[in-house]
Amino acid sequence: MTLNRLYHVTLTDEERATLLAFLKKGEAKGRKYTRAHILLLADETDASDAEIAARLHTSPDTVQRTRKKFVEGNVEGALNEKRRPGARVKLTPEQERQVTLLDCADAPEGRTTWTMQLLADKVVESGMVESISDETIRNTLKKRAQALAARSVRPD
């Protein structure tokens, strides 16, 4: 048996108890459970990353990253993902308000209603943004409509 591991996991009794209690709760995402199982198996056995990965139906890279996060940090660091920044915001709240107002205005000549593409073209034409997709316009209108609906519903 070849042990292709760079990071050796040795759990304390307290860490083991924390992981086992976490697994019994059943309230987290699947990836977090997989990481907990990786740490427990890495501590209990001399299995390689590939063997643990095969046993848990994941990749050897996931096993290695989880071991590394544990060794370089702690159990919490190994279980939890870092926050991902995501894409930058396309429209400011003021621009979203303007898109909503535009949608409520009369449609262009020869049209009975605004289409998402017409709205997107008008937003670019007005200089609000350099470019924008019709899907971003749709999501903006949907989000603002949901926010307005939520404000109009009042508890008894």
What average pLDDT does range 3-19 have in this prediction? Answer: 83
pLDDT at 29: 82
pLDDT over 80 (residue 148): no
Dihedral (Cα; 9, 69, 67, 42), 10-degree rounding:
50
Structural domains in the chain (count): 2
Domain end, chosen from 79, 110, 129, is at: 79
Stated pTM of the model: 0.54
pLDDT over 80 (residue 58): yes
Q: For the chain, what is the mean pLDDT? A: 87
Residue 148 domain-assigned (yes or no): no
Between residues 100 and 5, the one the model is more confident about: 100
Domain residues for 136? 93-141
- Residue 70's nearest CA partner among 153, 27, 6 is 6
Q: 71 and 18 in one domain?
A: yes
pLDDT band per the 50, 70, 90 thresholds, residue 119: very high
* DSSP string of 79-117, one letter each residue: HSPPPP--PPPSS-HHHHHHHHHHHHSPPPTT-SS--HH
